Structure 1
Amino acid sequence: MTSEPHLLLETPLPPGRMIASDDVSGASQPLWLSDGPASAGLWTRIRAEHVRTGLWPLLLDSQNPRDDEFPPWGSGELSPERMSSPGAHDPAELLAQWWREHTAVDEDDDTPPPGERLRVTAPFGQQWPGLAAGRPAASDPDKEADEHAHFFVSLRSRVRLGLVPAASGADALAVVGWEGPVNYDNDTAKFSAVLRSWEQRFGARVVAAGFDTLHLSVATPPTQMEDALLIAAEHFAFCPDNIWQSSHFHTLTSYAERLVDTYFWDFWWD
């Protein structure tokens, strides 16, 4: 970040500091982080200034929000220098590739057992169904994002505010060097490329992130199971642990049922 954010924003900021990534030089400062919890309306006010300032706000959670270092954010466990550009990746190709990897039957891999994989991804099995079609936003994407930010803060009172110089929330994750999905791929820009596509097709907005969690608002959720199944397939390719490690959804179909008329998407990588 080339400028202190308070010099760019009209919205007054609470106390905070620039965070250096943990690369060798320590020269990169991709994130401004508040010292204390974010207030309910602060995310909304800063999001409204994004077009002018280029700063995207993130509500940031921690593995241990009572830890003064607030990992991974305050501790600088970030790797922006390792990330490529989201524009270098085709989201359709990425999702198809990840789907093939996650549905491959490998007798040496027991997460989940090979015999369960095709049952989990029914009705598609190992066949990638392709991208779900986008539709005009059913509501204002920014308004949905603002409402979800308020909801998220009400659930997690210790989340902090982060500011990242990025064109969108999708790009912000790569710019800041977030490593949430590192157990599947260590280049977050690939996930940002998919998120860009969801921003365009579904009016999705990145609102919050944790150590290995991601929270989006959605302006155009599916209204029919046929569409929900295709989106569920994209989610499984993007984050298979949403089903593999879930205590609620054990198949693509049960997961898709939850997506119908739901204006937020959550992801967790083990």
Structure 2
Amino acid sequence: MTIDTTAPRFTPDPPVPEQAVAPGRDAALRELLTADPELAAAGLTPLPGTEIDGGSVWLAPVEPGYPACDRWRTLRDRFERTGFWPVLVEEATLHHPHEPETVPGPLDGAAVLTARVTDREYGDPVRAEVDLGDADDPDRYAGFDWADTWAIIGDEFDRVALVPVAAPWLVPARLGWQGACNAGLDGAEHAAVLRRWHHLYRAELLTLGFDTVWLRHLAPLPDRETALAAAYEAFAYCPDAVHQDYGSLDGVAERLLRPVWRLWWD
């Protein structure tokens, strides 16, 4: 497949249903903790100094690997009820917090991606021969859950944060996350891209590291063309995915065929 890097075009963002979730409030969460034994078992406590409009960021330790995946699922399944989105974090994630950012609407992920690749500050992505032979096999990960991957690679993420937001793509802004500051991304740009991918590729925010974003991918990319198109979007959002991490656009595409996606800003 040929990717035209001289005149980038990104498909418009897909229609997004209206969000019915209100950002969580501490008082309501405390009530749930007394009524829901599984939720209470998480050992959540509010982080001092993070309260805004009645909702704080809450934190709890988790055992890395499958236990962390199980705890994340428990908390994610209650998001519509709690208004708190869970993210697995490492100790360094919260070491360089910034002030939480306001995310104005409407969000346009396609416009953000187009502006970033049109700027040309990061050059064009290189291509390389990478085997994408499984890209047309809908059963390539049959029986292989995202947690099977995370149980192997997620050993540094030993705590979970609950973030009061109306939607998961707002988490980096609400935390004032600075992991991509070298690329000049602000909270609204993170929100626009993550919102787009949430609805276009069914990619959910799973983890924030010191300088990484991890997403769990709920549905396989259907073919090589989609994988490469998604890789070009990943390059626009995170040029280091090509230049510092996977080496080529095709290398990124191969990684995006897997159930867990990682983006790393050097």
* TM-score scaled by length of structure 1: 0.70
User: 1:210 matched to which residue of 2?
Assistant: 209
Corresponding position of 2:77: 48
Q: CA RMSD in A?
A: 2.9
Residue of structure 2 equivalent to 1:79: 99
**Matched-pair contact (CA < 8 Å) for 2:93–2:208:** no
Once residues 255 and 96 of structure 2 are traced to their aligned partners in structure 1, the CA distance between those partners, rounded to angstroms, is 35
SS in 2 for 1:245: helix
Superposed CA deviations along residues 171-212 of structure 1, whole A, max 9, x for unmatched, are 222222212111122522211111111111111111111111
Match of 1:265 among 254, 261, 266: 261
Question: Per the alignment, in what secondary structure is the counterpart of residue 215 of structure 1?
Answer: strand
Checking the alignment, whether the CA contact within 8 Å between 1:86 and 1:189 is kept in structure 2 is: yes
Aligned to 1:192, what secondary structure does the other structure show?
A: helix
Q: Structure 1 residues 59 and 150 mapped into 2: Cα distance closer, same or farther (>3 Å)?
A: farther
Q: How many Å apart are 1:150 and its aligned residue?
A: 6.4
Q: Counterpart of 2:228?
A: 229
- Answer yes or no: is 1:8 the counterpart of 2:32: yes
Deviation by residue 1:48-101 (Cα, 9 ceiling, x = unmatched): 11111111111112xxxxxxxx3342x572421xx2316343111100011122
Offset at 1:13? 3.8
Partner of 2:181, secondary structure, is: coil
Q: TM-score scaled to structure 2, two decimals?
A: 0.71
Residues 1:19 and 2:17 aligned together:
no
Answer whether contact 1:86 1:193 (CA < 8 A) is retained: no
Q: Secondary structure at the match of 2:59?
A: strand
Q: Compute the displacement of 1:31 (Å).
A: 1.3
Q: 1:8-64 CA distances to partner (integer Å, 9 max, x unpaired)?
A: 34221443432245xxxx765741111454633211111111111111111112xxx
Structure 2 residue matching 1:89: 3-state secondary structure: coil
- Does the 8 A contact of 1:218 with 1:265 survive in 2? yes
In the TM superposition, 1:19-168 aligns within 5 A as 19-20=47-48, 28=52, 30-35=56-61, 37=63, 39-40=67-68, 41-61=70-90, 70-73=91-94, 75=95, 77-80=97-100, 83-85=101-103, 87-101=105-119, 103-104=120-121, 117-118=123-124, 120-121=125-126, 147-149=145-147, 151-157=149-155, 158-168=157-167
User: Is the CA contact (8 Å cut-off) linking 1:204 and 1:219 kept in structure 2?
Assistant: yes
SS at match of 1:179: coil
* SS of equivalent residue, structure 2 residue 102: coil
The CA deviation at 1:122 is 5.3
Going from structure 1 to structure 2, the CA distance change for 1:20 and 1:71 (only over 3 Å counts) comes to farther
Asked whether the equivalents of residues 33 and 163 of structure 1 are also in contact (C-alpha less than 8 Å), the reply is yes
Worse-superposed segment, 186-195 or 91-100: 186-195
Provide closer, same or farther for how the CA distance between residues 60 and 218 of structure 1 changes in structure 2, counting only shifts above 3 A.
same
Whole-Å Cα distance in 1 between the matches of residues 243 and 192 of structure 2? 23
Cα deviation per residue 1:111-130 (whole Å; 9 max; x = unaligned)?
7xxxxx44x3459xxxxxxx
Look up the match of 1:219: 218
Q: Which amino acid aligns with 1:71?
A: A
Q: Please name the residue that 1:66 is paired with.
A: none
Question: Aligned letter for 1:254?
Answer: G
